[in-house]
Amino acid sequence: MSENQTGKALLDAASAGNTGEVTRLLEAGVPVNWAEVETGKTPLIGAAENGRIESMRVLLDRGANLEAKNKGGNTALIMAAWSGQVEAMGLLLDRGADLEAKNGYGNTALIMAAERGKVEAMGLLLDRGANLEAKNGYGNTALIRASCCGQVEAMGLLLDRGADLEAKDEYGNTALIRAAERGKVEAMGLLLDRGANLETKGRLGNTALSWAARNGQVEAMGLLLDRGADLEAKDSAGKSALDFVMRRHVKAMAPQIIEIVLRSRERERARYADALAAKQAEMEDAQARCAEALAAKQAEMEEALAAKQAEMEEALAAKQAEMEEALAAKQAEMEEALAAKQAEMEEALAAKQAEMEGALAAKQAEMEGALAAKQAEMEAQADAAQAYRAATVAAMAALEHRVKQLEDLAQLL
């Protein structure tokens, strides 16, 4: 077999998920990155777009190029996203595939999945960090491409993840304008419900309504008019949606347009009435639930308050008993300490009294001794004075006797 034939056999086996044949051919030396001449498809791309996981693992383990591209510039990840092969995408991303790789038209895996409405694949890409606002070569974001193709669920996911509702392509057209020109009414309804601007104009001044009129999208016109679109808004050439209705091949459709507008308005009124009734019922239900929840919460709070009050009263009683016990113990301790102090003071007072009485007795004895000594001294002095007096009397008597003798002698003489 020629190299081209063996390569084609490997591509077919990988695309079909014939892992045994893929392994045999690789072991036989068939190049793992062989590419089909006409399409540029490699075995990995063929396996990925068909979700052949085991074959992909074998190819990747043998060195398959994750970023190889087919003739349209699509990598294995882009083709897996286009086909909605989520498990294959996960494997490629786990092995390091470029999340933002672009094909020949500048489309990323997210843009390709969005235009095909592969919501699960989009979710995986967004969870892995795909750029919501990445644009292809024509300036289209994933939201714009999903709107063009009427992929409403995909649009909802993108908007929920924060996609720019007013992003513009290279011609200045928004998702609403692109949906209107193709008559994707359900997609338009979602965009309008999310707040899309009715009167945004593209680079040529065309609004969503004028594009719908230009392309004869009558139902789309009816929806836009019902939402309040300006029928007289003019583009850069001075033409309005009404001009396109009258001058292009939709003049005969004017009665139909009017009928659709009226029918659309009736549907919108019914929708608003239903929405209002549903909202009112929802509010009443919510009010009832709130009242029920409030009553339950109040009962719960009252029960909790009663339990807390009982708990506090119990704690207070316990604390009071504890304080009374502590107070009684403290009082007994103080009385004991007071009795001990009183006994100590009485003992000290008795000792002091005994000490003072001893000192007083000693002082009294000392004073009595001193008094007795003084009395003896005074008695001795008295005796001495008495003796002196007696001696004086004797001396006086002796003197008088002497005088008398002298006088007698004088007389003799």
Residues 6 or more apart in contact with residue 190 via CB below 8 angstroms: 152, 155, 156, 159
Output the six-digit token pair for 183. 């008559």
In CATH, what class is 3-268?
A: mainly alpha
The model scores a pTM over 0.95: no
CA triplet 241, 183, 134: central angle to 5 degrees?
A: 105
In total, the chain counts a number of residues equal to: 413
CA triplet 131, 135, 138: central angle to 5 degrees?
A: 170
Q: 């009443």: which residue's tokens? A: 284
- Where along the chain do its domains lie? 3-268
Q: Residue 64 in contact with residue 43, Cβ under 8 Å?
A: yes
Q: Which secondary structure element, helix H or strand E, spans residue 50, and what is its range? A: none
Mind listing the pLDDT tens digit of every residue in the chain (413 residues)? 788 899 999 999 999 999 999 999 999 999 999 999 999 999 999 999 999 999 999 999 999 999 999 999 999 999 999 999 999 999 999 999 999 999 999 999 999 999 999 999 999 999 999 999 999 999 999 999 999 999 999 999 999 999 999 999 999 999 999 999 999 999 999 999 999 999 999 999 999 999 999 898 989 998 999 898 988 899 898 988 878 877 655 555 566 666 655 665 676 677 667 778 888 888 888 888 878 888 888 888 888 888 888 888 888 888 888 888 988 889 999 889 888 899 998 898 888 988 888 888 888 888 888 888 888 888 888 888 888 888 888 888 888 888 888 888 888 87
